[in-house]
Amino acid sequence: MIIIADKNRLTVRGVRHGQRYLVKKEGDGWWIVAAPRGRRRVRQVAQATRDLTDHLDAFAAEGFAFEPVKKENVPPCRF
């Protein structure tokens, strides 16, 4: 497999910069064809085994307490 660099160190007509190509030797000649693209795996996300309330109850059982947050006026963003 070859990659055509920005400096065109390998001069081949009809290729695009950065594109991947496969070089094959057949008989007494060489063939340059576009490399097959890899398949992307779709990641399977497992279902949650516990709910957020279960986690918070476990924290509360250990003595962790939540306090209400005081409301503050926040100035608008200038950006």
Q: How many domains does the chain have?
A: 1
The model's confidence at residue 4, banded by pLDDT at 50, 70 and 90, is low
Complete edge-to-edge strand list for the sheet that includes strand 29-34: 2-3, 20-26, 29-34
In a domain, 12, yes or no: yes
Instruction: Report if residue 58 sits inside a domain.
Output: no
What is the tens place of the pLDDT at every residue in 39-65? 778 888 888 888 888 888 888 898 888
Indicate the average pLDDT of the chain.
79
* Mean pLDDT to the nearest integer, 21-35: 82
Residue 53 falls within a domain, yes or no?
no
Does the pTM surpass 0.85? The reply is no
Structural domain of 24: 2-34
Assigned domain for 74 exists: no
- Judge whether 42 and 34 are in contact, CB under 8 Å: no
Q: Say if 24 falls within a structural domain.
A: yes
